[in-house]
Amino acid sequence: MTLTFAATTRNAIADALVDLLDAGSGAGTIEIRSGTRPAGPDSAAAGTLLATITLADPAFGAASAGAAALSDPASVNAVATGTATWFRAKDSDGTARFDGKVTETGGGGDLTLQTTSITSGLAVDITGGTVTASAGTAD
């Protein structure tokens, strides 16, 4: 069976997913990493940790058209040098909730940065981030 979803259902799915980052007593985080993205957040993180960014609480705005946009967090200084390729989003208790693709602004990633070339000690700035619930496809 193939499912398709109404816009209100897509919004509820996206909101439920991003609300997981707000679980716990504080703000969630995003780890920006290099290397090959693992199969999913239940797998050990791979690659080099380039930066950890503390999110706003709540981390995302309400979904519209099935997409929730990341609230703009403050930039941080990188802890390592490398090319950002993926990220892991964690709640305030450190539980991995979802992974996604990192690209430069305009590159179509789930999370966008001013540049994916990260240098230790220099600022890492998120320029955008979106979690989108698919509409599905009809048979």
Question: Which position has the higher pLDDT, 118 or 137?
Answer: 118
pLDDT band of 68, cuts 50, 70, 90? very high
Query: What pLDDT, in 10s, does the model give residues 75-97?
Result: 999 999 999 999 999 999 999 99
pLDDT of residue 5: 92
Alpha-carbon torsion 33, 35, 37, 41, what sign?
negative
Mean pLDDT within 99-127: 97
Q: What is the 3-state secondary structure (H, E, C) of 90-114?
A: ECCCCCEEEEEEEEECCCCCCEEEC
pLDDT of residue 23: 83
Query: What pLDDT, in 10s, does the model give residues 19-33?
Result: 999 888 889 999 999
3-state class of 21 per DSSP? helix
pLDDT band of 139, cuts 50, 70, 90? low
| Cβ–Cβ under 8 Å, residues 139 and 2 | yes
Q: What is the pTM of this model?
A: 0.92
